Amino acid sequence: MNTVAVVGVTGAVGTELLRVLEARDFPVGRLVPLASERSAGKTVTFKGAEVTVQATSPSAFQGVDLAFFSAGATRSRAFVPHARAAGALVVDNSSAFRMDPSIPLVVPEVNPEALNGHPGVVANPNCVAAIAVMGLAPLARLARIERVVMSTYQSASGAGQRAMEDLIVQTKAHLAGQEVVPRVLKHPYAFNLFSHDADIEANGYNGEENKVVAELRKIMGRPSLPISVTCVRVPVLRAHTISLNVEFDREVSVDEARQALTEAAGVILQDDRAANHFPMPWDASGQDDVLVGRLRRDPSRATALDVLACGDQLLKGAALNAVQIAESLLGV
């Protein structure tokens, strides 16, 4: 049994990490819940027991075998070295180490071989990249992908627990005829959508879009894969939806794609044309698997298919994938 630390345990992803660890019967002998100073002294429930949250500090990792980090890049850069010095394996959910060439960026169903020779730290991808690659990887086994054009419909959970709570508050205010006042994100969120609010960078794309491109290339082992992405926040509590236009080096039939996705681990094909039932957050929320469907040939490009993917941002996009990485590392 392992001593397991969870940094950022009181946040949205930290809460899901505890639930996933318990649901998957991960071998936790002792839990070390860590958070900021303001959360120290609170308790979290794990396997029916109340465990007191500690402040994250260099000494908090003594005796820890495995540490999950989900408290942002700044905290990861500050404390991952201390966790490693104490001998802990680290699975980091922030952007701190994702593009470090020495650190693997892993989705276990897609690139488990990247774990070979890991330096004791493994990066968990951006939620959009993790969900998108679950739809792309099975298709990449059919033919070489030449280009991907993506549009994302990202839920409030991607901005954390406070954003989810603010969406509920704004929705209630709007329905009551009251003024909607954004408190977490830059724009009104209820009954609205807007371009992802990450800063616009020199190439005209925002930081979220640039992260998705870089991380997909790394996970798929295609450093020059042409990808264009537009990221949009939509008023959904959890589960991101992604539209994918995928161009191949040969014609790939819809039937071939359906078969590949049906056989793919961690994917559920949801492609019922008769009922007009395709992947959507209502079905994907709380679901471990990524829903993929709305398969159709692009009439403007003989070698391209259009696909829709939807996955729970807090699960496959964060906590579940992190636990799956840990399972692979420890042979669970």
Determine the pLDDT at residue 332: 82
Determine the pLDDT at residue 71: 93
pLDDT at 28 over 80: yes
Active site (catalytic) residues: 127, 240
Determine the pLDDT at residue 163: 95
In angstroms, the CA 261 to CA 100 distance is 30
Residue with tokens 């990450």: 198
Residue with tokens 């949801």: 270
Residue percentage of the chain with pLDDT more than 90: 98
Q: What are 179's two structure tokens?
A: 């003024």
Q: What are 93's two structure tokens?
A: 């959910």
Query: What DSSP string runs through 200-241?
Result: B-TTSSBHHHHHHHHHHHHHHT-TT--EEEEEEE-S-SS-EE
The model's pLDDT over 179-235, given as tens digits with 9 standing for 90+, comes to 999 999 999 999 999 999 999 999 999 999 999 999 999 999 999 999 999 999 999
Query: Average pLDDT of the chain?
Result: 97
Determine the pLDDT at residue 1: 77
Q: Is 150 in contact with 244 (CB distance < 8 Å)? A: yes
In angstroms, the CA 60 to CA 67 distance is 11
Q: Is 301 in contact with 147 (CB distance < 8 Å)? A: no
For 152, the 3-state DSSP assignment is strand
- Provide the 8-state DSSP code for 316: I
Compute the radius of gyration of the chain from its Cα atoms: 20
Q: Is 211 in contact with 246 (CB distance < 8 Å)? A: no
Residue with tokens 């961690």: 266
- 137 band by pLDDT with thresholds 50, 70 and 90: very high
In angstroms, the CA 9 to CA 187 distance is 28
Determine the pLDDT at residue 317: 96
In angstroms, the CA 56 to CA 168 distance is 30
Determine the pLDDT at residue 247: 98
